Amino acid sequence: PSRVELIGFEVEMMSNPERGTALKKVLGQLNNSFDYIIIDCPPSLSLLTLNALTAADLMLIPLQCEFYALEGLGQLLQTVKLIKRSLNPSLKIAGILLTMFDKRTNLSQQVAEDAKKYFKNLVFKTIIPRNVRLGEAPSFGKPILLYDAASTGAKSYFDLAKEIMKN
């Protein structure tokens, strides 16, 4: 996941005229050494996120089943259009992942329903539930698969991986 130390990157890159493509250039030097590179972005449209979207082939959009989430998603999709137009025409959306879903609340149900209504096939079938173990893992500095691979949250991420690999 993104770290606080990366804030220095933004400050350092402000005066660089190629600041929006720095990550793409670095990744280009790897000469196809990896099949996949996963870039975890901060939840903001910062210079770090711009670099990631400029370098990426595909993006997976997590959508929290919360009140303002769909509004934020609309803004993100507008930004993606701009990036496709000017910096990365090949950027594609792999899908929208519903997260922090609580089946006990009407709000989660409504956000999931609205997302499926407006974005149809872009919404993954796998839904990541609100899960205590998922919330605890980062505070121990571990990904969920190392913290508690048997948790409901970890199993949901395994299901997501399977769904992505099928497509």
Provide the domain limits for residue 162: 131-167
In a domain, 160, yes or no: yes
In a domain, 23, yes or no: no
Higher pLDDT, 3 or 109: 109
pLDDT in tens, 88-147: 999 999 999 999 999 999 999 999 999 999 999 999 999 999 999 999 999 999 999 999
In a domain, 153, yes or no: yes
In a domain, 138, yes or no: yes
In a domain, 73, yes or no: no
pLDDT in tens, 31-61: 788 988 999 887 778 888 899 999 999 999 9
DSSP 87: T
- Checking if the pLDDT of 5 tops 80, the result is no
In a domain, 47, yes or no: no
Range of lowest pLDDT (3-7, 142-146, 154-158): 3-7
Above pLDDT 70, what percent of the chain? 98
In a domain, 135, yes or no: yes
| Predicted confidence band of residue 2 (pLDDT cuts 50, 70, 90) | low
Q: Which residue is listed with tokens 């790897």?
A: 30
The predicted model gives 59-83 an average pLDDT of: 92
In a domain, 150, yes or no: yes
* pLDDT number for residue 3: 66
Number of domains in the chain: 1
